[in-house]
């Protein structure tokens, strides 16, 4: 009887150990996939026509890139802005999106006023190495 119980105990330990090691591998694969999907990229600040664009960053997750920035009026007067178009380029200076992205504002910014802006793009564009802006007033 002791031998049967001991044998069952050994089998149980072996089966539990195999199942746990399998779940650890699955957890590692899930973590690796999550790391690949949460890629973040950012660019330096830029000022165009008295409008400062700062904190430009991109986060790729769930087959979509979320793009965000902060826009600030650095002039001494009100500035009306409809939108800010941006174009992303890869390391070969090739445009990464078929059409420019844009931050839609349609506001008048008072001197020193800031707005957070965002835009979503299908696919992964966080490998961008260069960005150009066009301010539409």
Confidence class for position 25, pLDDT limits 50, 70, 90: low
**pLDDT for the residue numbered 19:** 43
Question: 133 near 105, Cβ under 8 Å?
Answer: no
Say which CATH architecture domain 39-136 belongs to. Sandwich (2.60)
Mean pLDDT of 34-55: 78
Confidence class for position 117, pLDDT limits 50, 70, 90: very high
Mean pLDDT of 22-27: 50
Q: Per residue in 75-93, pLDDT tens?
A: 999 999 999 999 999 999 9
Confidence class for position 69, pLDDT limits 50, 70, 90: very high
For the entire predicted model, the pTM comes to 0.69
Q: Where are the domains of the chain?
A: 1-37, 39-136
């Amino acid at each position: 009887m002791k031998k049967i119980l001991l044998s069952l105990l050994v089998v149980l330990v072996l089966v539990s150990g195999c199942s746990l090691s399998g779940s650890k591998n699955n957890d590692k694969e899930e973590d690796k996939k999550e790391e690949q999907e949460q890629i973040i990229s950012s660019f330096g600040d830029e000022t165009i026509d008295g409008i400062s664009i700062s904190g430009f960053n991109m986060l790729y997750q769930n087959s979509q890139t979320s793009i965000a920035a902060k826009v600030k009026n650095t002039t001494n007067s009100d500035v009306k802005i409809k939108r800010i178009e941006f174009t992303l380029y890869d390391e070969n200076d090739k445009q990464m999106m078929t059409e420019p992205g844009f931050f839609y504002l349609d506001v008048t910014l008072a001197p020193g006023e800031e707005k957070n802006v965002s835009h979503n793009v299908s696919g992964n564009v966080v490998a961008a190495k260069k960005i150009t802006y066009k301010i539409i007033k």
